[in-house]
Copies of this chain bind each other. A is one copy, B any other.
């Protein structure tokens, strides 16, 4: 019963088959000069309804850190939610790649709010001593599985731009956000003011494939050099491209994301109906948060369920656990089945009442 993370999942069949197929041609040029790579970029232009520059890498950390390095001068700073992956889970990678500082700002349930960001930006001293605030990075969906609407993104981007900041979207689970929103990829990103998107393929069903999508193609040269210098230019590049090629074909990526989201909804309904758990809030993507008595959680884990205690200082009010409880995160993936969800709920029902 894996609800630990979507990166505990394997990879989907069509992507694996594409990698096998990609191995077949005896020889193709290395370092991204191959036809598959060109096809992926063309497909992304189609998906985003505009010319984009695409840089493929193998980890989300690299996608995020390279994005920051492409958008900020070394004396810049990145604004992110205090719980943002980029802010706390990258072991200093953004600081390393870009030379910048990271500012961690609060926001209800992991979401930055445009008016609050605008107020903080206006109050932030900028200049020689403080450097420049250069990038606003939004996690979509965020660390609590919630999604920025295009209107929210646009309001945040407008506030950012008014103070000279560029906008980065960390879309490690971008597909899950989009499956929830039902809008077009363009509406969720560049039409709302996003400059660079970390478009994650790994959590969505690829073995290891992440794309940096630059909505201004003029950023290609900078990103190309930064990627190589960061050791992220895969020599047999066809094997990264093949993953995206299959995953983006026929909107497989959205189907897989919708499937994961549906499992999350099923799990949330189960929690809501249970007397052994309290659903923290309605999930919007593929992460479900629930308060469980500590003893219940332990019993579930003993029963073979994998999920994480998600205690955090970044929640308040009704979002805090009651006595004896802790907040827990359950992540579904493209590979999660209804049976998996039901097994977890059955195991939950079988735990002793607190």
Using known A-B contacts A31-B128, A202-B235, determine if residue A230 contacts B306 with beta carbons closer than 8 Å: no
Closest chain B residue to A235, Cβ basis? B7
Residue among B76, B132, B207, B236 making CB contact with A7, cutoff 8 Å? B236
Q: Are B229's CB and A96's CB within 8 A?
A: yes
Q: Are A233's CB and B59's CB within 8 A?
A: yes
Residue among B128, B232, B239 making CB contact with A225, cutoff 8 Å? B128
Using known A-B contacts A99-B96, A102-B101, A230-B93, determine if residue A23 contacts B4 with beta carbons closer than 8 Å: no
Q: Are B29's CB and A11's CB within 8 A?
A: no
Q: Are B61's CB and A228's CB within 8 A?
A: yes
* Complex Cα–Cα for A89 and B240 (A): 21
Is there a chain B Cβ closer than 8 Å to A286's Cβ?
A: no
Which of A76, A93, A132, A236 counts the most chain B CB atoms within 10 A? A236
Q: Are A27's CB and B11's CB within 8 A?
A: no
Q: Are A10's CB and B236's CB within 8 A?
A: yes
Closest chain B residue to A15, Cβ basis? B23
Using known A-B contacts A29-B8, A99-B96, A130-B91, determine if residue A231 contacts B229 with beta carbons closer than 8 Å: no
How many copies are assembled? 4
Q: Are B99's CB and A239's CB within 8 A?
A: no
Is there a chain B Cβ closer than 8 Å to A224's Cβ?
A: yes
Using known A-B contacts A26-B335, A29-B8, determine if residue A231 contacts B93 with beta carbons closer than 8 Å: yes
In the complex, per-residue mask of A1-29: 1 if CB is within 8 Å of any chain B CB, else 0: 01011011111000010011011111111
Is there a chain B Cβ closer than 8 Å to A88's Cβ?
A: yes
* Complex Cα–Cα for A29 and B240 (A): 22
- Residues on the B chain within 8 Å of A240, using CB: 208
Is there a chain B Cβ closer than 8 Å to A351's Cβ?
A: no
What's the minimum C-beta distance from A86 to chain B, rounded to whole angstroms? 11
Residue among B57, B63, B91, B101 making CB contact with A129, cutoff 8 Å? B91
What's the minimum C-beta distance from A211 to chain B, rounded to whole angstroms? 14
Is there a chain B Cβ closer than 8 Å to A73's Cβ?
A: yes
Q: Are A23's CB and B7's CB within 8 A?
A: no
Is there a chain B Cβ closer than 8 Å to A281's Cβ?
A: no
Is there a chain B Cβ closer than 8 Å to A295's Cβ?
A: no
Is there a chain B Cβ closer than 8 Å to A131's Cβ?
A: yes
Q: Which of A's residues lie within 8 Å of B, judged by CB? A: 2, 4-5, 7-11, 16, 19-20, 22-31, 57-63, 65-66, 69, 73-77, 88-93, 95-97, 99-102, 104, 123, 125, 128-132, 202-203, 207-208, 222, 224-226, 228-236, 238-240, 306, 311, 313, 335, 340
7 other A-B residue contacts (CB within 8 Å) besides A74-B92, A202-B235, A208-B234: A9-B26, A27-B335, A31-B128, A63-B231, A75-B226, A90-B231, A128-B224
